[in-house]
Structure 1
């Protein structure tokens, strides 16, 4: 997974969830049935057709009827929103300190969703239970790992409603994550033949073709994927993130760190931040990471060839997996590659 904000910011204390234990038994039935199978002919309460979805953990996630009370990781909720599927609550970066929408909230109106937790390791189990959730949705970066569910309260949370996870790491590429998110949205009532969705998919495909053309027209451009914190500079490998693996398949040449920790990145002290030379830097855009203005205070940052050349572009480290949002990401990267000069 990408470097979580738990290591970029001071972790808040875990949410006390004692009262949620008493709610688990009462609300488990509201979350759906483990036996219902979509398309089996079974009917849920009120004659509604049963619902099921096989998620990227290989689990058959089921409910008595199509879930309506959905709670999702913020970025996943933003993707569902782009398909016309609303959620009742979110967890993950949703509002910044000044009350504005976080970049991971996408086009959602964050004033209209219940925020269960706004930072890593924060999840109010009682508030979640009070929403009477039918379904929890998030991403998964590693086997059997639900993104942004605190380990301390994960078991309580998963007892309250069925949970579905969309893969965005490992062997998954961006196009696969997009297709699977669209599949989930369709199962929840989205119309994938809607003109907006059809146009967005066509835009993504066109953007991908242009990126491939750009890498061929400007060969040898080395791209470093970095994330700045107060004491460390993280250099990511393209091998385990859906977006980077996809860009690599289109011809983007990434700097690959040689001491990868946990499968995702190498941590460098700021004294050694210039270890790898690159022509373009894709810089983590998440709230809580240091941005170019703040990084000016780091002498080794200022000395990097790509920084001197002004060849820095934001990296959407946790993409919103709708075709609309990913088309924008690919278009921005294409511009960066097209305009880059060889400086390393």
Structure 2
């Protein structure tokens, strides 16, 4: 999911970077539409190709081994068996602990080239001699957390793979990371990977059953800032859209606020009571406004779900893996199971 909200949240000279060349390069997009990896040999020798969600065709003389990834992408790849050498984007909390956005990644074993928005250490990235950079994209053709002024230089160091995260079904995004991980040498039949897929499917079916049994349970997903409440627009969030397809009764604006590029309807706190719901899921990311901070907003305090104490976390930046979303949906079902569906009158 895009950060809260995204708008709230100097490259090194090319001569310096040209001395650190990537293995291989990029070629113009091929005529073939689907993205598909080559079939690397068991030893990982031989050509490696991939066409990403930008239509960018990557061709390398051998399978990439030194992979750098944005924290969300690193978390997804990790669950599928790939171990990046470095990450950027949220991965370390102020106290030194692991940020939930980086999932199960062992941050003690990977390098950091940036931890917050706008932070991307080009010199360190180049020194790692990366073969490939992997990143998600919320906006078309825009790598998440790669500063706009650094894009050209980053492309000179190593090829980049972009995975589109908005406008695509949740299972499809997860499957893309799974295929990419397999192309990078991970075993798609490994026991933890297979077990995570079963767990994901079971969690989805459990939510479907709950939704069918409790059609009147209204759920709204929000994030907040000191000035505004942001109500999630269902079609632009793959996880929320998926839950809607499973049958959950999700409150969604008719259209998002254009200035946010989609994703949200922006409400002033004076108008935060525009929608009501039995349950509200609140953005759990570190940079988001906390429930106890929202408590001071009069309109928030009057919302039915707030009065009923039916406020639960929304893991907006969950990694796109079967394991990640299995855990999310299991937690969501447990919270909805204990929630009343007669709060809105």
* TM-score when normalising by structure 1: 0.90
Which residue does 1:280 correspond to in 2?
A: 279
Cα separation, 1, equivalents of 2:324 and 2:305: 26
Maintained 8 Å contact 1:5/1:288:
no
2:169 is aligned with 1:173: yes
Which residue does 2:33 correspond to in 1?
A: none
Query: How many Å apart are 1:77 and its aligned residue?
Result: 0.4
Query: How many Å apart are 1:263 and its aligned residue?
Result: 1.6
Cα separation, 1, equivalents of 2:5 and 2:247: 30
Maintained 8 Å contact 1:173/1:241:
no
In the alignment, which of 237, 247, 251 is matched to residue 247 of structure 2?
Answer: 251
- For residues 152-231 of structure 1, what are the structure 2 equivalents within 5 Å? 152-170=149-167, 172-231=168-227
Moved more, 120-129 or 210-219: 120-129
- For residues 73-92 of structure 1, what are the structure 2 equivalents within 5 Å? 73-92=70-89
Change (3 A) 1:4 1:306: closer
In the alignment, which of 14, 23, 42 is matched to residue 16 of structure 2?
Answer: 23
Query: How many Å apart are 1:106 and its aligned residue?
Result: 1.1
**Which digits, 9 at most, give the CA deviation of each residue in 1:17-51, with x for residues without a partner?**
235x23332223x343436x96489x9xx992111
**Which digits, 9 at most, give the CA deviation of each residue in 1:211-248, with x for residues without a partner?**
00000011122211100112211111010121111111
Query: How many Å apart are 1:259 and its aligned residue?
Result: 4.9
Query: How many Å apart are 1:339 and its aligned residue?
Result: 2.6
Maintained 8 Å contact 2:12/2:153:
no
**Which digits, 9 at most, give the CA deviation of each residue in 1:75-106, with x for residues without a partner?**
11011112221111111111111111111011
Change (3 A) 1:91 1:47: closer
Task: Give the secondary structure class of the aligned counterpart of 1:224.
Answer: strand
**Which digits, 9 at most, give the CA deviation of each residue in 1:44-80, with x for residues without a partner?**
xx99211112222222222221111111010110111
Maintained 8 Å contact 1:31/1:160:
no
* TM-score when normalising by structure 2: 0.90
Which residue does 1:139 correspond to in 2?
A: 136
Which residue does 2:288 correspond to in 1?
A: 289
**Which digits, 9 at most, give the CA deviation of each residue in 1:96-143, with x for residues without a partner?**
111111110111121222211111122111111111110000111222
Query: How many Å apart are 1:291 and its aligned residue?
Result: 1.8
Query: How many Å apart are 1:314 and its aligned residue?
Result: 0.9
Task: Give the secondary structure class of the aligned counterpart of 1:248.
Answer: helix
Cα separation, 1, equivalents of 2:263 and 2:44: 47
- List 4+ stretches of structure 1 deviating above 3 A: 3-9, 37-41
Which residue does 1:12 correspond to in 2?
A: none
Cα separation, 2, equivalents of 1:323 and 1:259: 29
Cα separation, 1, equivalents of 2:170 and 2:76: 13
Cα separation, 2, equivalents of 1:148 and 1:135: 16
2:26 is aligned with 1:34: yes
2:123 is aligned with 1:126: yes
Cα separation, 2, equivalents of 1:33 and 1:128: 17
Aligned length: 332
Change (3 A) 1:322 1:217: same
Which residue does 1:13 correspond to in 2?
A: none
Which residue does 2:31 correspond to in 1?
A: none
Cα separation, 2, equivalents of 1:272 and 1:149: 35
Task: Give the secondary structure class of the aligned counterpart of 1:153.
Answer: helix
